[in-house]
């Protein structure tokens, strides 16, 4: 669709020329076809290297959506079950009152485990086995299923290790088997190979950094520990790029992220549907607000540009986003390397609104 490509490219160029953004990628699929794959700007503050279609962007929590998709595929084949205790596959997880926590609780952010283990540091954060062992020793902060609180970083290990135990595969092996290989994705990483490091855009902040948060009182746990701030600095570290932290360190292109969501819409992309229609219906018919079954859902103020609860996806800190809108056969991904203080970035909303107007895909 040349009109979509030209209009989106013009908007991206304008955002960069007005210095409202540094580097950007936007991709969209409609009815299984790539209708725009645009980019503009530069990979870092030096403005020496232009962004291209294969520049990799650190997109923080955008990896949560793919992690959820991986689990839904395993449920569809009977390897996992939403309503069985996680300890069915991961026996050590039952410790300290977690025996009744189910995979559904984890996907819906109601498991009661949003806080990192108190002994976590940067070294342990990059060690999959160490983090899973520490999480298995935690006690839930509330009765599972009775309260929802965003599991900002722990989500990936809880859901991911459950899938690994059930299949006896590593997280990267599962990601490749369930999503990357079926879709032919070359630029989608949770755990970046060192050989790809030079392709990663460097993050910067849209506004001067606020003073760092003070350390919490002794004994108080944190979902995102104070020592990770500023998050732009954390996600610019090569050791963090190489780690496998599925809830927080997805690194990818907008095109691959949009293709992942296109494959979740009935009809799929290039003949590939990642989920059977019955699985997708089960997810979208769930009575949930905010985050449910591993995805954020459409609502009145959603950056996805739709209040329909059938619109689903996941954003990342600072403004990145990927989503699917099955009602309009549309998927969109937005990647940026200038982090905005509000995740409801004006640039993202403007671009998504334009795509929806071109396709007459507005509510």
Evaluate if residue 343 carries a pLDDT over 60.
Answer: no
Evaluate if residue 344 carries a pLDDT over 50.
Answer: no
Residue-range domains of the chain with CATH:
55-210+224-350 (3.40.710.10)
Mean pLDDT of 164-183: 98
Look at residue 19 in the predicted model and tell me its pLDDT: 94
Q: What is the pTM of this model?
A: 0.96
Rounded to whole angstroms, what are the CA distances from 20 to 12, 124, 295, 337?
10, 36, 28, 11
Using one digit for the tens of pLDDT, what is the confidence trace for 5-56?
A: 999 999 999 999 999 999 999 999 999 999 999 999 999 989 999 999 999 9
Mean pLDDT of 210-221: 78
Using one digit for the tens of pLDDT, what is the confidence trace for 314-332?
A: 999 999 999 999 999 999 9
Mean pLDDT of 121-145: 97
Using one digit for the tens of pLDDT, what is the confidence trace for 292-303?
A: 899 998 877 788
């Amino acid at each position: 669709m040349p009109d979509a490509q030209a209009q989106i490219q013009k908007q991206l160029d304008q955002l960069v020329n007005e210095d409202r953004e540094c580097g950007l990628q936007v991709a969209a699929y409609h009815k299984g076809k790539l209708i725009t794959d645009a980019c503009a700007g530069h990979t870092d503050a030096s403005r020496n290297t232009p962004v291209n279609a294969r520049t990799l962007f650190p997109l923080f929590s955008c990896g949560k959506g793919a992690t959820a998709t991986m689990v839904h595929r395993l449920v569809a084949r009977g390897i996992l079950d939403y309503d069985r205790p996680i300890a069915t596959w991961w026996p050590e997880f039952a410790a300290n009152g977690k025996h009744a926590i189910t995979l559904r609780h984890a996907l819906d952010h109601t498991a009661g485990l949003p806080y990192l283990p108190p002994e976590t540091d940067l070294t342990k954060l990059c060690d999959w086995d160490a983090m899973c062992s520490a999480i298995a020793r935690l006690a839930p902060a509330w009765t599972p299923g009775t309260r929802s609180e965003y599991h900002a970083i722990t989500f990936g290990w809880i859901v991911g290790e459950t899938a690994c135990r059930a299949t006896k595969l590593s997280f990267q092996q599962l990601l490749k088997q369930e999503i990357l290989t079926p879709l032919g994705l070359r630029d989608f990483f949770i755990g970046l190979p060192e050989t790809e490091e030079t392709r990663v855009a460097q993050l910067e902040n849209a506004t001067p950094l606020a003073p760092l948060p003070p350390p919490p009182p002794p004994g108080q746990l944190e979902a995102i520990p104070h020592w990770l701030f500023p998050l732009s600095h954390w996600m610019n570290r090569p050791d963090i790029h190489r780690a496998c932290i599925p809830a927080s360190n997805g690194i990818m292109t907008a095109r691959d992220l949009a293709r992942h969501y296109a494959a979740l819409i009935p009809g799929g992309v290039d003949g590939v549907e990642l989920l059977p229609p019955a699985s997708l219906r089960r997810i979208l018919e769930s009575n949930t607000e905010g985050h449910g079954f591993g995805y954020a859902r459409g609502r009145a103020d959603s950056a996805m540009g739709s209040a329909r609860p059938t619109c689903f996806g996941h954003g990342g800190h600072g403004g990145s986003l990927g989503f699917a809108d099955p009602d309009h056969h549309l998927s969109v991904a937005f990647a940026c390397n200038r982090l905005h203080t509000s995740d409801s970035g004006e640039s993202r909303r403007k671009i998504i609104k334009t795509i929806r107007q071109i396709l007459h895909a507005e509510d």
